Each structure stands twice: as structure tokens, then as C-alpha cells.
Amino acid sequence: MEKKTANGEDPELILKKIRHYCSYQERSIAEAERKLEQWHYQKSRIPSMINRLQQEGYLDEERFARVFAGGKFRINKWGKRKIEYAMRLRGLPELMIQQGLAEIGDREYRKILKELIARKMKEINPEKNLNFREKIINFALGKGYEINLILEVLKELKS
């Protein structure tokens, strides 16, 4: 029989809890490690627990990166810069970040940015706002889009 964890819980109960945590939403390895630490699971046992979760298919960094990037783009309308930053915060390796961002097609990316800018242009009254263009650019930058693409789309929308 295995020893109890630092907080007195049975390792099998912790395994059941972390499986549930990883199954109802895609998780990165770093997120799973943080959750185990929150539950006071022994630090020395965390790598073997993570390895087991990977072998069982509960954790897959590549799958997480694809789902995360696609979801943040399609649902939240985030740009690649913001998505990349959020993925770095979740401890994803560079390769996984690039694979996740590759899920976003260039045509769809440009189309979404165009829709966002067009909607924002309707919200802001250009006669009452001297900084109309600046407000649009700052809005799109805040969503994580690249400045060169923002300027191209603004030029397209003007003509």
C-alpha cells in the first residue's frame, strides 16, 4: 500500500482527481503540475504522475496547444501575439506554441481582424474622436494582432 500524501490523501484519490481535472478541459503539463502542488502532492512524485497522465492520454501538450490556440482565436477573437503570450504563461515549449498557432489559417485570421475592425469603426464616431485611427489600432493591438496586418486591413477598409 502506498504512503499517504503530505495532506493525508491517498495517491489513488489524487490520481482520480487529477484525471477528472484533465478530462473536463484540455490542460498543459504546467497546469497539471500546479494543481498537484496545490493539493500538496509530494513534489518528488509529480513527474511520475505527469508521465502516467501522458501515457493514459489525459495530457498531451500538442493537443492542448492546438485546442487552446484555436479556441482563443475562434471564440475570443484573439490575435496570434496574445495567444502566444498566453501559451507561454502556461509553460508550453516553443515547438508546441508554433504548432498551436499553425492551426490558425491566414485567410480566416485576416477575415476575423477585418470584421473586428469594421465593427469597432461603427462603434466610434469619427467626428467626435480626433484619435479615431489610433483608437482602432489600439483596440486591435489589445486583441493581439500584429501592427503591419492592422494597418493593411485599415487601408483596405478605407478604400
On the question of pLDDT at 106 being above 90, the answer is yes
Answer yes or no: do 21 and 41 share one domain: yes
Cα 25 to Cα 20, 38, 59, 61, distances in angstroms: 9, 18, 10, 13
| Cell (9 digits) for 17 | 482527481
| Cell (9 digits) for 18 | 487529477
Answer yes or no: do 93 and 117 share one domain: no
| Model confidence pLDDT, tens digit, residues 44-90 | 999 999 999 999 999 999 999 999 999 999 999 999 999 999 999 99
Average pLDDT estimate for 99-127: 92
Tell me the average pLDDT of the chain. Answer: 91
**5 is a domain residue:** no
**139 is a domain residue:** yes
**3 is a domain residue:** no
Answer yes or no: do 110 and 151 share one domain: yes
127: exposed, middle or buried (Cβ count in 10 Å: 0-12, 13-18, 19+): exposed
**129 is a domain residue:** yes
**72 is a domain residue:** yes
Domain count, the chain: 3
Of residues 60 and 129, which shows the higher confidence score?
A: 60
| Model confidence pLDDT, tens digit, residues 16-41 | 999 999 999 999 999 999 999 999 99
Answer yes or no: do 110 and 143 share one domain: yes
Answer yes or no: do 46 and 75 share one domain: no
On the question of pLDDT at 2 being above 90, the answer is no
Answer yes or no: do 75 and 50 share one domain: no
Of residues 123 and 142, which shows the higher confidence score?
A: 142
pLDDT score, position 4: 56
Of residues 126 and 103, which shows the higher confidence score?
A: 103
pLDDT score, position 158: 83
**145 is a domain residue:** yes
Question: Domain range for residue 90?
Answer: 62-101
Answer yes or no: do 72 and 115 share one domain: no
